[in-house]
Amino acid sequence: MEISGWGRYPKIDAKVILPATAVACASALKDPGLLIPRGLGRSYGDSSLATQVLETTEMQYLQAFDSETGVLACDAGVSLYEILNVFVSQGWFLPVTSGTRFVTIGGAIASDIHGKNHHVDGTFCEHVLSFDIALGNGEIVTASPTQNPDLFHSTCGGMGLTGVIIAARVRLKPITSSEILETTIKAPNLDAVLDGFEKYIGSTYSVAWIDCLAKGADLGRSLLMIGEHATDGGLKVASKKPITIPMDAPTQLLNPLSIKAFNTLYYGKVLQAEQSRRTSFETYFYPLDQMLHWNRLYGKPGFLQYQFVIPTATGREGMRRILEEITESGQGSFLAVLKAFGKQNENYLSFPVEGYTLALDFKVTPNIFKLLDRLDELVLQYGGRLYLAKDARMSEQTFKASYPRWQEFEEVRRKYHAIGKFASLQSIRLGLA
Amino acid sequence: MKRIVIVGATSGIAKECARIWVKESAVDLTLVVRDVARAQPLIADLQVRSPHSKIEAISVDFNDATAIHNLVEVVYHSRTIDNVLIAHGNLPDQSDCEQDLNLCKDTLEINGVSPCLFAEAFASVMQNQGKGNIAIIGSVAGDRGRKSNYIYGAAKGLVARYAQGMQHRFANTRLKITLIKPGPTATPMTEKMRAKGMKMAPADQVAKEIVDGIAKGKSVIYTPKKWQIIMLIIQHLPSFVFNKLNI
């Protein structure tokens, strides 16, 4: 059947294997042929694409929960959505969450996802105590920072290329309220928003929505959104039905004019320089989940997500230069999100480094690839890298220049029987074995 | 605590119904399965979701009338059962059943006779309770026999007729019989069809409609709802039209 990532570019015809248990999964691995594990398919590009794909979504049991420590043991196919559904009302939250809840635990580990609290709490895998993984030879082993640590640190952020994660133990975060106290600050330009991130470095959650069509003195104008867990207000999970985009929008729906109009209205709707409100966790963390299949708004050709990070030392200058390049090109990004990262962790291919990260959407058009190649050059020049979970077209040279631990990663893959078993369209493109 | 019994609890739809029920409130839940060991991951999952629920599994031969009768007596044990959900089944390849008469017989028995035996046995013990609901999962396939699926479909047709008879028997009592007719649902039973790209309703959505429908005391639940009108049309197509369809 035809499958793709969330950007719906590229697409591939794949055989899908759907094991319901760990035993079935290990036995499927004994069959010949390359394959890649896949969860809910929310990576944007070709990270979970191959001619054979092993979907983990049927392995979705919760196994055990310790209400003293908050440690949850569960199958790798359990989604963040399901965990919130079960545990928010019991007073627990995810330690780190991506912008969508429709991601499996296996996917969260394989992409080593980050959230709005990276500068305080790090990545998802920093809250994973251990996991069980099925290797290329069908053997199931346990990995943790102390048990098979090389396997642990290469699987965290390893894009499914080391094996199939079967189950994991994750420490949840205790909460006394499901609400978030949100403060929105209008930042008139890039320096203002970066100053804002520094000022609010002690806040738990921070993210900025940035207007990347604004030019000149307005370059980088943003809405900075700071958040803290409320301590009162109850523990509620909303049952509001999301709206569904039922079919592909015409490709002209999102164009530079409509995007510019949207951005102006969105920035303009915040009337005061600073305003606070109380909001549900769903609204603060997952605004896009309210619109199922929003990726269809980009039309049939799909879109590309481009997310990079520039280290702090060159952060301001790098960000300014890249924003100028984008505004000059006239190829607008509908949703642009800016975030400040904290320290890098020990996982070999984990994306975040201390600095600033920007995530952009671009419609797939013939001109876009040249622009992104140019942006790659700038990212490399400023010492940064791209996020593999969003990437659909980065070159091998760019990848290897910006992820120096790729060779150690390959050695671990060799050691644990992953070579010749696990590969994706992305891994082949990036020159991995 | 509400007492619920689920027959065929490890099936895709039953599992999701169990999850909804334990989330609503702590329950006393008995899972009737073929193999207790296979039910352990489900029990662990439900217990995590509902630490105060009492959950146990018990096994029986699903085709042995005497064993079913005895099991139901043991499970009932003179304690009111609020809900029974009969949810087991097996969907083999139609052409395999056409070629292997034993497979054909087994398919008819597990999907048709077995659910009816459980329904009859539970109705016997529950009829004087003064309340209660027995819900049986049939299928839209039971609404009209068609070439791609009539062996399974006929078994589900039997279930529909049986449920109808029981509804008549208990019409003026407080025991409700609910017949559930799901359309194609994404569960392990339909894995082969889904791997070919066929789109199906998510099991949790179907389960929600089932749990809501049972709570409302409905007699027949089509889920998703659109199947009611689809099957109405299909049932009424004259044979010269129907016979041209490749379904």
pLDDT, tens only, B188-236: 889 888 877 788 999 999 999 999 999 999 999 999 999 999 999 999 9
Distance, CA of A52 to chain centre: 23
> How far apart, in Å, are the Cα atoms of A287 and each of A12, A111, A362?
29, 21, 19
CB A394 within 8 A of CB A307: no
CB B81 within 8 A of CB B132: yes
- The shortest C-alpha distance from A431 to chain B (Å) reads 30
- The shortest C-alpha distance from B48 to chain A (Å) reads 6
Instruction: State in Å, rounded, how far the first CA of chain A is from the last one.
Output: 26
Q: How large is the greatest C-alpha to C-alpha distance in chain B, in angstroms? A: 58
How many C-beta atoms surround the C-beta of residue A327 within 10 A?
A: 19
Calpha distance B58→A306 (Å, rounded): 53
Q: Which two tokens stand for residue A363?
A: 């419609």
pLDDT at residue A290 greater than cutoff 90? no
Q: Which of A61, A65, A72 sits opposite B41 (nearest CB)?
A: A61
Share of chain B above pLDDT 90, in %: 92
Is A62 in contact with B44 (Cβ distance < 8 A)? yes
Which of A17, A75, A86, A241 should one mutate to test binding to chain B, selecting the residue with the greatest count of B CBs within 10 A? A86
Of A79, A45, A49, nearest in space to A62 by CA? A79
pLDDT in tens, A279-289: 999 989 987 77
Of B10, B34, B12, B35, nearest in space to B190 by CA? B12
* pLDDT band, very low/low/confident/very high, at A247 (cuts 50, 70, 90): confident
pLDDT in tens, B80-115: 999 999 999 999 999 999 999 999 999 999 999 999
Residue A17 with chain B: CB contacts under 8 Å:
195
User: What is the dotted CATH code of the domain comprising A180-395?
Assistant: 3.30.70.2520
Q: Which residues of A touch B (CB under 8 A)?
A: 1-2, 15-18, 20-21, 58, 61-65, 67, 72, 86
- More confident: A293 or A326: A326
Domains of chain B: 2-242 (3.40.50.720)
Calpha distance A197→A200 (Å, rounded): 5
> How far apart, in Å, are the Cα atoms of A48 and each of A8, A9, A57, A160, B194?
12, 12, 13, 8, 18
Q: Which of A188-192, A255-259, A311-315, B108-112 has the lowest mean pLDDT?
A: A255-259
pLDDT of residue A241: 65
pLDDT at residue B181 greater than cutoff 70? yes
- The shortest C-alpha distance from B50 to chain A (Å) reads 9
Calpha distance A416→A159 (Å, rounded): 15
SS3 at position B233: helix
- Where do we find the tokens 């989330």? B23
Half-sphere exposure of B82 (CA within 13 A, CB side): 11
Is B49 in contact with A18 (Cβ distance < 8 A)? no
- Rounding to the nearest 10 degrees, give the CA dihedral for residues B83, B87, B88, B93: 170
pLDDT in tens, A111-133: 999 999 999 999 999 999 999 99
* pLDDT band, very low/low/confident/very high, at A249 (cuts 50, 70, 90): confident
Q: Closest-CA residue in chain A for B50?
A: A86
For the whole model, what pTM was predicted? Answer: 0.93
* pLDDT, mean of residues A382-387: 98
* pLDDT band, very low/low/confident/very high, at A334 (cuts 50, 70, 90): low
Is A64 in contact with B195 (Cβ distance < 8 A)? no
Q: Which of A15, A58, A62 sits opposite B48 (nearest CB)?
A: A62
In A125-141, which positions are buried (b, 16+ CB within 10 angstroms) versus exposed (e)? bbbbebbbbbbbeeebe
Q: Which two tokens stand for residue B53?
A: 């629920």
B233 Cβ contact partners less than 8 Å away, ≥ 6 residues apart: none
* pLDDT band, very low/low/confident/very high, at A398 (cuts 50, 70, 90): very high
pLDDT in tens, A205-245: 999 999 888 888 999 999 999 999 999 989 988 866 667 77
pLDDT of residue A215: 85
Half-sphere exposure of B56 (CA within 13 A, CB side): 6
pLDDT of residue A329: 86
Half-sphere exposure of A399 (CA within 13 A, CB side): 22
Q: How large is the greatest C-alpha to C-alpha distance in chain A, in angstroms? A: 61
Is A67 in contact with B41 (Cβ distance < 8 A)? no
Cβ pairs bridging A and B (under 8 Å): 35
CB A48 within 8 A of CB A37: yes
Single-letter amino acid, residue A1: M
pLDDT at residue A255 greater than cutoff 90? no
Q: Which two tokens stand for residue A348?
A: 């070999």
pLDDT of residue A240: 66
pLDDT of residue A81: 96
pLDDT at residue A335 greater than cutoff 70? no
Residue B196 with chain A: CB contacts under 8 Å:
1
Q: Where are the beta strands (DSSP E) in chain B?
A: 2-7, 27-33, 54-59, 83-86, 133-137, 176-182, 185-186, 201-202, 220-223
- The shortest C-alpha distance from B162 to chain A (Å) reads 33
- Where do we find the tokens 């996020």? A387
Q: What order of strands is seen across the sheet that includes strand A140-143?
A: A62-66, A71-75, A164-171, A128-134, A140-143
Going by the DSSP 8-state scheme, the letter that residue A240 receives in this structure is P
Is A61 in contact with B42 (Cβ distance < 8 A)? yes
Residue B191 with chain A: CB contacts under 8 Å:
18, 20, 58
Mean model confidence pLDDT for chain B: 95
A402 Cβ contact partners less than 8 Å away, ≥ 6 residues apart: A379, A380, A384, A385, A386
The DSSP H or E segment spanning A337 is strand A337-341
pLDDT of residue A16: 92
Single-letter amino acid, residue B166: M
In terms of C-beta density within 10 A (0-12 exposed, 13-18 middle, 19 or more buried), how is residue B85 classed? buried
Residue A62 with chain B: CB contacts under 8 Å:
44-45, 48-49
Calpha distance B123→B83 (Å, rounded): 11
CB A258 within 8 A of CB A227: no
Of B133, B183, B141, B142, nearest in space to B160 by CA? B142
Calpha distance B115→A44 (Å, rounded): 45
Distance, CA of B189 to chain centre: 13
Is B44 in contact with A63 (Cβ distance < 8 A)? yes
CB A166 within 8 A of CB A132: yes
Alpha-helical runs (H) found in A137-280:
149-155, 190-199, 256-268
Please name the residues between 163 and 222 in chain B that touch chain A, using a CB distance below 8 Å. 188, 191, 194-197
